[in-house]
Each structure stands twice: as C-alpha cells, then as structure tokens.
Amino acid sequence: MDIPSRTRHKGYISIIIAISLAIFMASLDGTIVNIALPTISEAFSLSSASVSWVATIYLLVMAGCVLIFGKISDLIGYKKIFLSGFIIFTLGSFTCGSLPDLTGSFLTLIGSRAFQGIGGAMITSIAPAMVTAFIPTDMRGKAMGIIMTMAGLGTAIGPTIGGFLTQYLSWHWIFYINIPVGIIAIILASQVIPVQKTCGGLEKFDKTGAALICLGLAFLLFGFSEGITLGWTSPIILSSIGIAGILLLMFVRHELRIQNPILEIRLFHEKTFLLLNIIPVLVFFSFSGMSYLLPFYLRYVSGYSTSQAGLILTALSVAMMMAGIVAGMLFNRIGGRILSIIAAAVLTGGYYLITHLRVDTPIVFITISLLCIGSGLGLIISPIFNMIMTSAPKKYQGMLSSLTSLERFAPMTIGIALYNIIFVQGMMAIATHYDVTQNAPKNIQLKVLTAGFDLTFFISFIIGILILVCTIIARYRIHPDYLDSEIEETSTALL
C-alpha cells in the first residue's frame, strides 16, 4: 500500500470513528436516562408521570427533527450539520446536568433535554449519508456494520451505565459523561470530515413541510408514548393521534406538490425502494414489543430475579453486536440481499423459538432464542440501511439517512405501546372467555398471564415471516451514483 493509499485509509477510519461516536452517544442518551428517573423524581418531588418527560421530550424532538436536518444537510453539506449537532448536543448535556440545580426548576431540565434532542437529531440524521458519501464501496459494508453496532451498543448499555453513574456519583453524571466524548468528536470531525459541494442554500428549504412533519410526528409519538399512562380513551391521547393523522396527511399532500420536498415521496412508487423501507419498520416494531415484554415474562412467569433476568437478556445484546460486525465483513462478499434474507430467516427462527417459552423452560433454551433474535437483528440492520442509502440518487443522501434514523426509533415507540395493548386486552379476553377471576388459583392466573405473552410473541413471529418475504421479493440494484468513482473528490480532500 503506497503512502497516499495509507493516508486515505487512515482518513476513512477517522471518519468512521467520528460517525460511530456520534451514533453511539445519541443512542446511549435514548436509554441512559430511564434508570435514573426515580432518582430525578425524588430530587424534584415529582410523580412518575411528570418525570417521564425527561425521556419523552428527547425522543419527541428527535422524531420531529430528523427529516428536517436530513434535508438541510443535502442543501448546505454534512460537515456543518454534523459539527453543529455535536456542539448543540454537548452543550445540551452540560445544561441538563447543571441548570436544574442552578435554577431549582424541573422545567430547565426539560428544556435542556429538548435542546439536546435537537443536537441528537442533527448527528444521527446524517450518519448513514456520511458513510455512503465519504467511504469507498469496499469499506462501506464494514463501516455501516460498525456504526449500527455502536448504535445497538449505546442502546443496550445505556441502563447499565446510567445505573452505575446514578448510584455511585449522581444523576447529573448521566449527562456529564457526554461532554468529554463530545469534545473529542468535535475536534476529530472538524479535521477529518471533508467539505462537500452543496446543492444551494436554505432558500430552497421547505418550511411548510418541516412544520407539518415536525408537529405530526411529535403528536403521533406523544399519543403512543403517553397512552399507557393517560389511558387510550383519554381525550388528550385521542386528540393527539387524530391531529397527528391530519398533519401527516397534509404533509404527504404538500410534499407531492412542491419541487424540493423534505421527503421525496415519489421514490416510494418504486416497489423495491418501498419494500426496503418497510423492512426496518417491521424489524424495529416487532423487536421493540418483544423486548419490552420479555423482562416481565422472565420475572413473573419464569420466576427469575431482576438481576438474573438482566443477565439473561445480555445474550441478545452481545449477539446483536457480534452479528453487526460479521454483517459488515459479509456485506461485500455475498451481497446485501442474500445477507438480509439469511438474517431475516435467523430472526424469524428466534421469534419462533420465543413462542415456545413456558414456566419450566430451561435457561439454555431461552438463551438460544435470544441469541438467534440478536444475531438476526445484527445481521439485517446494516445491509438493509446500506441498500436503502444506495438505491436512490445521490442527491437524496441526507434525506434517506434521516429516514433510516426515523425508521429506527419511531416504530420502537409505537411498537411498545401497541404490544402493551395487545398483551393486556388479550389477557382480559382470555380470562373472560374462561371465566377466570382474581380469586382463581394462582396456577390458573399464571396460565392466563402466559397466554397473554404467547399472543404477543406469536405476533412477532408473524411479522418475522413478513420480513422474510419482503427480503426475498425485494430486487435490489445499486444506483449508478454510488460507484467507486463517487469517492474521487473525497479521496483528494483526505489527502
């Protein structure tokens, strides 16, 4: 390898590290707060419903903003958005940890979390786009695998890190931990990320579409995230979901009428592109509901302690991370389509195994089931996102990147809510049918509880079959914009 080639290779590695830090920190902050909510609740003398806004507001802002910043990045370039996002995210982390004590107001924490969410949306919305823009084809699969693995790692270890920091330091440190990482990432990114030729300025930005999608997604996710707390028949929840439906329909209608939309909906007219985008929605929807209910199953049906259940569930996270690395290595060897079919089959097999859990199921069987699910997830995420990013013209990179981010966490929020409804209503229907009351023997009540879990796990299995079908019938073709010639300008910039 000559000196220029080695220099370019180091430059690519540096870009991957910078993007990985970004996606890791944004994913970590989506879950690290949850474990500290009881402590924050005590600190501010708040109810559990009120303090949950510390987690909710971050996700709502992220959901409302990702598509907006994806489009803006197409207009003004990725480097400006990425660096600005990390600066906002880091400053937001500092204010989350310090302002509430200085002001004595819980609202300052909420405002700081919203501000932090804006930064998180900026850096996560363009991460996949930066891979396809700056990384050559022969490294792209590995790069996407590493980045998606870091996203899974951040989500998985968030509660563990949050619990440790809250117990041995204070809840403020779940935010302060971001500051040194943010500073390192800002310095690194400013040096290694190339400056692109842009398509124009913000005068082309669709402000009406931005307002409609931001409000529509915020109302939608608020309705689903708070439905469990406020009740699904609550006027607030029904109104929120209704308003979301109206705003999102207005958004679609508006986007079809303008020249420079935030989301190019016409791309979905192509069958393969539509199928590729349906797959991650189904994956994260089915996984979120299953993973939300599984700890309760292990605790109340299988009888494991909280620590034992947590240890068992680490099998899923470990398998997901290891499979993500393997997916990156296999992507260029066997192709994204074949890899996604294999991954969907493994994931569906894991979902099938999980439907066979019973009160006396051995821990080995549970672990194997989780290893299959984690492996399937780790294998499918990076090839599917890679294929989405490279199936449409290069000018849509930022938009598609933000779309994949939205397809990651919006289905998870909705999936948890809907699976909870199915679980509760399923149990009630079964209990009513068999005339099981609260006075029934415990073994009978346990059978009803198990039946409720079986119903939800079976739904994940059915969705797994749909995912497998979609991967089989999707005929992926890489767009000409993404051939190796696209990185010539980037290679020059790295030198």
Contact (CB, 8 A) for 291 and 462: no
- Determine the residue type at 3: I
Report d(CA 447, CA 433) in Å as an integer.
Answer: 13
Reduced to 3 states (helix: H, G, I; strand: E, B; else coil), residue 129 is: helix
The phi, psi pair for 357, rounded to 5°, reads -70, 135
Q: If phi over 0 gives left and psi between -120 and 50 gives alpha, with beta otherwise, what is residue 435?
A: left
In sequence order, what are the residues at sequence separation of 6 or more whose Cβ sits closer than 8 angstroms to the Cβ of residue 224? Answer: 241, 413, 414, 416, 417, 418
Sign (positive or negative) of CA dihedral 344, 387, 19, 495: positive
Contact (CB, 8 A) for 179 and 343: no
Terminal C-alpha separation, the chain: 15
CA 342 to chain centre: 22
Q: Which pLDDT score is estimated for 489?
A: 44
The crossing angle, in degrees rounded to 10, of helices 3-31 and 127-134 is 170
Report d(CA 77, CA 385) in Å as an integer.
Answer: 21
Domains with residue ranges and CATH for the chain: 1-205 (1.20.1250.20), 267-495 (1.20.1250.20)
Report d(CA 325, CA 150) in Å as an integer.
Answer: 10
Tens place of pLDDT per residue across the chain (495 aa): 444 555 566 777 888 888 888 778 877 776 777 777 778 888 888 776 677 778 778 878 887 888 888 888 877 888 888 889 889 999 998 998 888 777 778 888 889 988 988 988 888 887 777 877 787 777 777 777 777 777 777 776 777 777 778 778 888 888 888 888 888 888 888 888 877 666 556 667 788 888 888 888 888 888 887 787 778 888 999 999 999 999 999 999 998 888 888 888 888 888 888 999 999 999 999 988 887 788 778 878 877 776 677 778 778 878 887 888 888 788 778 888 899 999 999 999 999 999 988 878 888 998 999 999 989 988 998 889 888 888 878 777 778 878 888 888 788 778 878 888 888 888 888 877 777 766 667 777 777 778 888 888 999 999 999 999 999 998 877 777 665 544 444 444 444
User: Which token pair is 116?
Assistant: 């932090």
Report d(CA 388, CA 197) in Å as an integer.
Answer: 23
Going by C-alpha positions, the residue among 264, 266, 252, 269 that lies closest to residue 213 is 252
Going by C-alpha positions, the residue among 296, 281, 225, 284 that lies closest to residue 55 is 225
User: Which token pair is 261?
Assistant: 């939309």
Report d(CA 477, CA 486) in Å as an integer.
Answer: 17
- Residue written as token pair 């979905």: 268
What's 34's DSSP letter? G
Q: Which pLDDT score is estimated for 459?
A: 92
- Residue written as token pair 């980037």: 490
How many helices (H) and strands (E) the chain has is answered by 19, 0
Contact (CB, 8 A) for 323 and 377: yes
Reduced to 3 states (helix: H, G, I; strand: E, B; else coil), residue 28 is: helix
- Determine the residue type at 448: V
- Residue written as token pair 């915020």: 218
- Residue written as token pair 């899923």: 316
Helices (H), ranges, 301-438: 306-334, 336-354, 363-389, 397-433
- Residue written as token pair 């192709």: 335
User: Which token pair is 468?
Assistant: 């497998």
Sign (positive or negative) of CA dihedral 219, 220, 226, 231: positive
The reported pTM is 0.81
Report d(CA 347, CA 380) in Å as an integer.
Answer: 9
Q: If phi over 0 gives left and psi between -120 and 50 gives alpha, with beta otherwise, what is residue 77?
A: left
Can you spell out the DSSP letters for 53-97?
HHHHHHHHHHHHHHHHHHHHHHHH-HHHHHHHHHHHHHHHHHHHH
User: Which token pair is 483?
Assistant: 């051939």
- Determine the residue type at 143: A
In sequence order, what are the residues at sequence separation of 6 or more whose Cβ sits closer than 8 angstroms to the Cβ of residue 395? Answer: 74, 199
Q: Which pLDDT score is estimated for 482?
A: 62
Q: Which pLDDT score is estimated for 287?
A: 87
Report d(CA 219, CA 68) in Å as an integer.
Answer: 16
Q: If phi over 0 gives left and psi between -120 and 50 gives alpha, with beta otherwise, what is residue 121?
A: alpha
Give 161: exposed, middle or buried? Use CB within 10 Å, 0-12, 13-18, 19+: middle
